[in-house]
Amino acid sequence: MSELRPSRRDLLAGTLAGAAVSVLATRSFSALAADPAPPAPVPVAPAGPLILLPLPYADTALAPVISQNTLSFHYGKHHKAYVDNGNKALAGSTLFARQSIPEILRATQGKPELAAVYNNVAQAWNHQFYWQSMRPGGGGAPSGRMGDKIKSDLGGYDAFKAIFSKAATGRFGSGWAWLVSNKGKLEVMDTPNADNPLTLGLTPLVVIDVWEHAYYLDFQNRRADYVTAWLEKLVNWEFADANLG
């Protein structure tokens, strides 16, 4: 048994950590789901297949929209807990050893006995994607290809802002609002709890976390103000453009 454990862990690390690293490389995850090629070599997580990657900026970098207090708790407590609990839920299971994150989510969604795997793997992925969807000095109307696509597919930046803000503020309870590519066409959607567009075969471009833990210390109940500030100051259009492929 002891010889088998590292190889199982290596396989899991190869698939799951490969998916996480490919976010950094700005590969789309829907491409991963369709691509049976073995993942590129990746660092093996010390404590399991999901990896808590470092934030792509200092925890003070998004202030004053997102304070250091919010960011340090959100990343260091919430995101870390999803990674740790996801690794616990996956520990010892060979069921998902060769599956990508989209495949794991599709295999576990809606199955109560696999809810711990689904929720924690999805939330670990969603948070990594959220950190990358923001940058210091971001926000405002995009130029270049994203600007053109927003004009042709969504009716322009003002129309996009209205649609995205409605999705983000209208999502009842906890969840996420996404800009996605549906076979190359931009769409806005929101999802509840841990759900994300990967299970629908869509390509996420950027996401905003609208769980209360994302904004309550800075905005209390004013979710609409958080969404407006996020769009004006933080959204990372270069990341969106790269995810468009």
SS (H, E, C) the chain: CCCHHHHHHHHHHHHHHHHHHHHHCCCCHHHHHHCCCCCCCCCCCCCCCCCCCCCCCCCCCCCCCCCHHHHHHHHHHHHHHHHHHHHHHHCCCCCCCCCCHHHHHHHHCCCHHHHHHHHHHHHHHHHHHHHHCECCCCCCCCCHHHHHHHHHHHCCHHHHHHHHHHHHHHCCCCEEEEEEEECCEEEEEEEECCCCHHHHCCEEEEEEECCHHHCHHHHCCCHHHHHHHHHHHCECHHHHHHHCC
**Residue closer to Mn ion (CB basis): 33 or 189:** 189
Interface stretch with Mn ion, choices 104-112, 148-156, 203-211, 220-228 (CB under 5 A): 203-211
**Residue closer to Mn ion (CB basis): 11 or 115:** 115
Residue 178 interacts with Mn ion (CB under 5 A): yes or no: no
Q: How far is the CB of 211 from Mn ion (least distance, A)?
A: 5
**Residue closer to Mn ion (CB basis): 90 or 207:** 207
Using CB under 5 A, which of 59, 209, 218, 241 touches Mn ion? Answer: 209
Q: How far is the CB of 1 from Mn ion (least distance, A)?
A: 37
* Per-residue binder mask for Mn ion (CB under 5 A), 113-152, x = binder: ----------------------------------------
Q: How far is the CB of 138 from Mn ion (least distance, A)?
A: 18
Number of residues that bind Mn ion (CB under 5 A): 2
**Residue closer to Mn ion (CB basis): 29 or 125:** 125
**Residue closer to Mn ion (CB basis): 99 or 236:** 236
Q: How far is the CB of 123 from Mn ion (least distance, A)?
A: 7
Evaluate whether 18 touches 48 at the Cβ level (below 8 Å): no
Residue 211 interacts with Mn ion (CB under 5 A): yes or no: yes
Interface stretch with Mn ion, choices 28-36, 64-72, 185-193, 202-210 (CB under 5 A): 202-210
Q: Which residues contact 114 (CB under 8 A, 6 or more apart)?
A: 107, 108
Binding site for Mn ion (CB under 5 A): 209, 211
